[in-house]
């Protein structure tokens, strides 16, 4: 008998990806679609890019829906929920990837509003998404939640205070959520990317690469592959995980 090997099959599943038109988010959407999932795409402002991504996903034979909404506001979450109800179905895979970006400054120089917006786009974004979509997962007794964190949560380098404070708060939320919803066969895991390559920029990364055991930077596809794995039944006994996808630049300790 021929050995077919393992494959990631998300046929019949529906994934909702926030921040779906960003450089990482778009690759996550396409990767999950390649595995057979239908995709709900949230974008804050890039509606034209969302339409292009929707067409590309549909060309793969999957369904796709798009919504322009603010994930830091309750009305934005309700708008996303309405789109999923009208155009697809309630998701059984939730990929919370959206985050607000800003200049990194010292604690003394970082504006107070940056700390607030970071908390809103990490912790509150996830809390509101969970409240909106997990009850249906509980009814189904099945669900996958994959949250984008960062290697910076372990590094805590100069200038990262607002970003890291939000992401470390998110880590606590994710771990507690994993314990609370586990009995319903819902897994909650975090993917923590390293500094991924941006093909559109020339970046001085030699100092960074020198610290990475694999001696290179990763690609968005590396992160998306980890998301696909954690979204699949291959990972059905993994929950509460903080998974660095950073070439060994950070290593979660026991």
Residue with tokens 């700390």: 115
Of the listed 115, 163, 208, 242, which one is catalytic? Answer: 163
Q: Which residues contact 32 (CB under 8 A, 6 or more apart)?
A: 10, 15, 17, 39, 93, 95, 224, 227, 228, 231
Q: Would residue 163 show up in a list of annotated catalytic residues for this protein?
A: yes
* Length of the chain, in residues: 254
Dist. CA 63–CA 103, nearest whole Å: 37
The burial of 15, by beta-carbon neighbours within 10 Å (0-12 exposed, 13-18 middle, 19 or more buried), is given as buried
C-beta of residue 200 within 8 angstroms of C-beta of residue 156: no
Give the catalytic positions in this structure: 163
């Amino acid at each position: 008998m021929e050995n077919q090997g393992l494959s990631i099959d998300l046929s019949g599943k529906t994934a909702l990806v926030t921040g779906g038109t960003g450089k990482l988010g778009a690759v996550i959407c396409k990767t999950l679609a390649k595995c057979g999932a239908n995709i709900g795409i949230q974008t804050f402002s890039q509606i034209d890019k969302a339409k292009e991504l929707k067409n590309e996903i549909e060309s793969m034979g999957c369904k796709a829906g798009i919504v322009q909404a603010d994930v830091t506001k309750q009305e934005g979450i309700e708008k996303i929920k309405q789109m999923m109800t009208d155009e697809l179905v309630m998701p059984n895979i939730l990929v919370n990837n959206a985050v607000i970006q800003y200049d990194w400054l010292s604690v003394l120089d970082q504006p107070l509003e940056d700390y607030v917006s970071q908390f809103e786009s990490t912790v509150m974004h996830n809390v509101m998404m969970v409240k909106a979509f997990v009850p249906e997962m509980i009814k189904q007794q099945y669900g996958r939640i994959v949250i984008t964190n960062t290697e910076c949560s372990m590094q805590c380098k100069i200038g990262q205070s607002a970003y890291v404070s939000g992401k470390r708060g998110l880590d606590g939320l994710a771990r507690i959520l994993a314990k609370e919803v586990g009995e319903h066969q819902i897994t909650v895991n975090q993917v923590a990317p390293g500094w991924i390559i941006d093909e559109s920029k020339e970046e001085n990364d030699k100092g960074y690469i020198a610290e990475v055991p694999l001696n290179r930077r990763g690609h968005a596809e590396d992160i998306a592959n980890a998301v696909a794995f954690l979204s699949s039944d291959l990972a059905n006994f993994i929950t509460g995980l903080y998974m660095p996808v950073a070439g060994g630049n950070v290593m979660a300790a026991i």
